[in-house]
Structure 1
Amino acid sequence: MNQPLGPVSFKDVAVDFTQDEWQQLDPEQKTTYRDVMLENYSHLVSVGCHIIKPEVITKLEKGEEPWIVGGEFLLQSYPA
């Protein structure tokens, strides 16, 4: 029988890209990534997950490219 592993965090459903990896995606892949990441975040918030908005979501909402900055992934600085 499967036991629950605990609550899901944004890190569990998110993907980080380096700038080089991001540049290798075609425009349709970038759009799909944006849509899925924003939808995942929205779903977590809608079921009551109290999380600080990750920088990657803020960047995607502004239409900015979501790669890592200064050697740290955008997701790592935010607690679940």
Structure 2
Amino acid sequence: MHESQGPVSFKDVAVDFTQEEWQQLDPVEKTTYRDVMLENYSHLVSVGYDSTKPNVIVKLEQGEEPWVAEGDFPCQSCPGCDLDLACRP
């Protein structure tokens, strides 16, 4: 049996795109991305994920494009960084 490494966060299961990357996706890929991201978030909430709703999920729910600006990716090392905020030390 594997040892637990702690709770799963949204950024563990999320994929982000820059505007340029997003524009290269075809409509079916964009729809699939939206469906998978919303489903992943829903599953996390159903198992007790308790955090502010990530901005990418808010955008997807409102039918907006979810890409992030170049340089706005959250850092991987700061506690509390999530996909809805760029790291601001």
TM-score (norm 2): 0.80
Q: Which has the higher contact order (CA 8 A, sep 6+)?
A: 1
C-alpha distance in 2 between matches for 1:76 and 1:64: 14
Report which of the two has the higher share of helix. 1
Give the structure 2 partner of residue 37 of structure 1.
Answer: 37
TM-score (norm 1): 0.88
Q: How many residues align?
A: 78
Unaligned runs of 5+ in 1: none
C-alpha distance in 2 between matches for 1:22 and 1:3: 36
Unaligned runs of 5+ in 2: 75-82
Overall identity of the aligned pairs, in %: 72
Q: Quick check: 2:55–2:84 contact (8 Å CA) kept in 1? A: no
- 4+ runs deviating over 4 angstroms: none
